[in-house]
Structure 1
Amino acid sequence: MIFRKTALILFLFIVAISEAQNETINGNLTINSTADVGASQNPALVIGQRSGHHIGIDGNEIGAFYNNSFSNVYINCSLSTSNTVLNDGGGKIGMGTPYPSELLHISARNSGDGVIRLESDLDNNNEGDNIRIEMYQDGGLHGALIGFNQDWPGSQSDNIFRIVTRQNGINDYSTLTIDPFTSFVGIGTTEPDSKLTVKGKVHAQEVKLDLVGSVAPDYVFKEGYNLKSLEEVERHIKDKGHLPNIPSAREMEEEGIDMKEMNLKLLEKIEELTLYIIEQQNLIKQQKEYFSGEMKKMEYKLENLLNK
């Protein structure tokens, strides 16, 4: 009985609209229905042909269908250039959830991945079309920008991923840079030249370096190692101004310091220094034994002289 009444009301409504296409209805129009919006349901209001594309509206639901099967919902079609505003009253929007807890709450429910996909320049014809997320607070004075932008400084800036921080209205484009072509990461620089390039101080609790082909300098202790004499080391220092096999101050200023290489060279010098100390210790021991023997001889001679 209810369905018949609803169908009759809807029929009269459609007839009235068709007969008065430009008429305005003043007052409230109520259509009662107990059906849900679904592929096999009969909602209170259907716009379009049931055998083709149509929209069903009932209560707090709206659905798009094609020939009684679910279809896409288009808001502001491709021919429209106007803006689309959702819930400008400040309420929350849920996608995949009927109970949004934030302004925008997206849920994959019990299965599937929760993915947000951003795209631009699909035809690869306009390098100035880029994707990014911009976050501002305090009237735009502070915030962060994440993504790509051709206007940001650096080579191939439109294809370089950045995290840009903003303070007092000024953007720092060197906060974090990732070059997708080389997988180089830069902190404090827009031009990383290694897997990790940091321009500034680094504070770490622990740093571990793998040798990866480098040789620990225990070869210094092996038989046959060419340990320079202290005289040779002294001449090298006078001529070059630095230790053998150690870069000069000028080289370090121009090329920087390879921490792994420098640590191994310093260890080499420590091991060489250990050998020098051992050599000196042996020499001191020999001299001590020699002088001890000489002292005994002198004491023996002195005792003989005194006994005469």
Structure 2
Amino acid sequence: MYAQSDNYFKLTFEKKFIDGEANQVAYINFPDIVLWGYFEVTITGGYNHRLNKGILKKRFAMVRNTSNYFSDLTEVPIAFGVLADQWCIGDFDENNLRIPIYHLSSAGNEIVIQVEGLIRKKSNVDAIIANLNISDPVIVSNSKTRQYMSIIQDRVGIGTNNPQNKLELANLNHDGINLDNKFRLRTFGTSNTFILEHLADEGDLYIRSKIGPDDSGNIVMNDAGGNVLIGQTTQQNSDYRLDIDGPVRANEIKINLDGADFVFEPNYELRSLKEVEIYVKENKRLPEIASAEEMKKGANVGELSRQLLQKTEELTLYTIQQHKEIKKLNNELTELKKVIVKLN
């Protein structure tokens, strides 16, 4: 069956391959003519689609002269269903002027093949209508595998004809994804992992939020709970919302904490310096300050800052006390000098 109008043609063939045999091939044979244009080969299931439901389509943009110049581009825009697991459409063989159709399994042996195209010269369309044919299948050894391009199931490849993931972008000279509107990636389930990777010998991974003329915008992470880990994949202590394995540098860090103004309250019980001396000799640290062993496990910066502020304020009180005592001693010394002068 065929259709034709000026520079366009469509041919349909039914082909039955050998029952129970895998690794078969049949060829779509083209006449030796100038082929300038667009061709599309589509395979659908035969025998009421019972054993090979689905569709496989491959496109060819071709420039071929009888003077041996040849150039083409190909893509597989559709590949889904059982049929896509069982068949493969090969590339145009410029030496033998044919496109191979590979049968990859021993099931679903009957198919419908449609060849259509839009080419430059009407005379070439007439030649194709009259001479294009499909050979009988033969058994061959081959390493052909399934072709992928599906938005319903299996895998989608952009820039690659052999995707290894559900969606794979590769071999592109431009941005992989560039959207002008909202973009969201999600994983669902109880044990799924979402990975955002930049795998290269050099370069950086940017996460940026640009809003308005000043490029200001927030990046929100784990607003519903959970922790953020940097430089590690597990935590020794899950109490920390941000856990970093490695040094941290910042121009400014602001910590919300309570002060130590209670030290200056009238009823604050300030230890005597003698008590502090005894405590330091016994514990090798100041009172209320964690030991070195405890700090190795991690220190609360806010709490430690408050404790150090408390010690600074206590030191201020000790200094004031000593100032008063020194002033008192100076006064006593002055009076003592007066007494000595009188005695002399």
Question: How many percent of aligned residue pairs carry the same amino acid?
Answer: 26
- Measure the CA separation in 2 of the matches of 1:276 and 1:117: 60
Contact 1:134 1:144 in 2 (8 A): no
3-state SS of the aligned residue for 1:247?
coil
Residues 269 and 105 (structure 1), Cα distance of their counterparts in 2 relative to 1, 3 Å cut: closer
Match of 2:81 in 1: 78
Residues 262 and 18 (structure 1), Cα distance of their counterparts in 2 relative to 1, 3 Å cut: closer
- Measure the CA separation in 2 of the matches of 1:191 and 1:228: 43
Contact 1:9 1:31 in 2 (8 A): no
- Measure the CA separation in 1 of the matches of 2:228 and 2:197: 21
Q: Structure 2: which 5+ residue stretches go unaligned? A: 16-26, 44-56, 63-75, 86-145, 149-156, 161-171, 206-220
Tell me the CA shift for residue 187 of structure 1: 1.7
Match of 2:288 in 1: 245
1:1-16 correspondence to structure 2 within 5 Å:
7=5, 10=8, 13-14=9-10
3-state SS of the aligned residue for 1:186?
strand
3-state SS of the aligned residue for 2:266?
coil
Match of 1:233 in 2: 276
Residue 285 (structure 1) aligned with residue 331 (structure 2): no
Tell me the CA shift for residue 239 of structure 1: 3.5
Give the aligned residue type for 1:236.
Answer: Y
Give the aligned residue type for 1:225.
Answer: Y
Contact 1:187 1:199 in 2 (8 A): yes
Match of 2:232 in 1: 189
Give the aligned residue type for 2:5.
Answer: A
Match of 2:181 in 1: 112
Give the aligned residue type for 2:328.
Answer: Q
Q: In the comparison of the two structures, how many residue pairs are matched?
A: 206
Between 73-82 and 202-211, the greater mean CA deviation after superposition: 73-82
Match of 2:261 in 1: 218
Residues 236 and 294 (structure 1), Cα distance of their counterparts in 2 relative to 1, 3 Å cut: same
3-state SS of the aligned residue for 2:302?
helix
Contact 1:183 1:195 in 2 (8 A): yes
Q: Greater strand percent: which structure?
A: 2
Residue 198 (structure 1) aligned with residue 196 (structure 2): no
Q: Greater helix percent: which structure?
A: 1
Residues 102 and 29 (structure 1), Cα distance of their counterparts in 2 relative to 1, 3 Å cut: same
Q: Which has the higher contact order (CA 8 A, sep 6+)?
A: 2
Aligned-residue Cα RMSD (Å) equals: 4.6
1:21-170 correspondence to structure 2 within 5 Å:
24-28=29-33, 75-79=78-82, 80-81=84-85, 82-84=146-148, 102-103=173-174, 106-108=177-179, 112-113=181-182, 115=183, 132=195, 136-137=199-200
- Measure the CA separation in 2 of the matches of 1:106 and 1:182: 29
Tell me the CA shift for residue 265 of structure 1: 0.9
- Measure the CA separation in 1 of the matches of 2:13 and 2:333: 132
TM-score (normalizing by structure 2): 0.46
3-state SS of the aligned residue for 1:297?
helix
Tell me the CA shift for residue 295 of structure 1: 0.7
Give the aligned residue type for 1:260.
Answer: G
TM-score (normalizing by structure 1): 0.51
- Measure the CA separation in 1 of the matches of 2:232 and 2:285: 33
Match of 2:91 in 1: none
Give the aligned residue type for 1:200.
Answer: G
Match of 1:264 among 296, 299, 306: 306
Residue 299 (structure 1) aligned with residue 338 (structure 2): no
- Measure the CA separation in 1 of the matches of 2:233 and 2:12: 64
Tell me the CA shift for residue 105 of structure 1: 5.6
- Measure the CA separation in 1 of the matches of 2:28 and 2:295: 86
3-state SS of the aligned residue for 1:267?
helix
3-state SS of the aligned residue for 1:76?
strand
